Structure 1
Amino acid sequence: MTETDVPDKIPFELTQTDLENLAGGDEKFKPHDWEDLKHIIAENNLEILKRKPSDLRRYITWTNETKTKLPSITDFICSQRLFWNPLPESSPETGPLFDCCGTIPFADPNDYKILMNDWPYGITQDVTHLIVWSKLRLPDQKPEGYLTPESTALVESFVERTFTERLASFEDVNARDSVLWFRNWTGLQSVRGLEHVHVLVKDAPLALLEEWTTTHELGPEAILD
């Protein structure tokens, strides 16, 4: 298999952009810059977000190998990254259920966790890709999985107070032009069992990243050792 071939075993859906990206290889890859990301998210054209081809191959390989050691990627994230214990009544139909402190997503800090994205999209180095994982599901519109207007407003408010306002108070920057967020609809999600929202921050100070994220020792390949 060459570096431009599509792997035989694909553990999640690939978009047409993914397939074209793999065929082109790293030499033809151009990372998303901030202006590109702003346009993609504003247009809700999320299916054209892409990873560096070699990173996508590593992600595919890691996912396949991890599934030989644990039942699912959701199990890995819960046990190795979030350290959340699903309730016994959780099932494949319900997905993981948790003992929550509140009933509204992102209202109680005990019900969500912010981590660096272990497998970020192919973005320029001035952009940091974070994921906010939530014990509570966001109401969405079936079957596509688009957020409802109420859910969109809820996430917008959370991102504003958690990221934008904090960034604005930390440095003299145009914070409103330095934070973006999106939530993939169901067909684009590689981890569908857990609620999560993507947050992108431009020129994020290290001290703020450390403040936002939860300390965790295990990297994404730790389970493969």
Structure 2
Amino acid sequence: MQVSVGTGFVVAEGYLLTAQHVLRGQDSIWVGPLEGRKWVRAQVVKFDNQLDLALISAKVSAAPLSFAAWSEVPTGLEVTAIGYPQPRLQGLSKKITQGLINGNRSDRNESFDAGFFQFSAEVQIGNSGGPVLSPDGLVVGMVQKKLNALDVAERTKDLPVNVSYGLKSSEILGFLKDTPVEPSVKSLSLTTNLRPYQIFSFKQGSVFAVVGRKTNTTPEPAQP
């Protein structure tokens, strides 16, 4: 059985966002763990391969997370990621990490603003699809992937540390426009600075593991 694990977060009653690559090619999708260690089956409502973004529906009752407008998000803002890193090694429990928004993501094959940003909160396989939160608890983006440090070190003899990439809230809000979800967008407060334990306490109840399963297949390499 092929199994992929990522993270998702609630954006409306019965709807969650996650990374598309977690679900790609899978026969079934599950969200949990809920109370009593239960899992519920989910269905894909909409996806975008280019953005690596998917909206799924599931019988999950939790407070939707609110978004910040990306135009209000400054480079250097402290951010927090909540998700399920390396669940096979670290267990299926939510973890929190912190970092900074380092800037826009761009390279030789992309325009300056490709809809993604670089941030330094540590993420691992399993974090994909999780929320990237501002100090006041708003979603500024979604965890998508990280730089392959070992590959870069082999090519450049330099080991990059905590180079992660997220999808900007502006791209997510655009994706949700023609869906049943009416996302909550709030003004970013640069004067409200919740402590990490407060952000986790207030927001972790809206973050779940997303598991994709496919039977009778040859295993494929896991994606970050």
Q: Same fold (TM over 0.5)?
A: no
Question: Which protein is richer in helix relative to its size?
Answer: 1
Question: Which protein is richer in strand relative to its size?
Answer: 2
TM-score, normalised to structure 1, is 0.29
Larger radius of gyration: 1
TM-score, normalised to structure 2, is 0.30
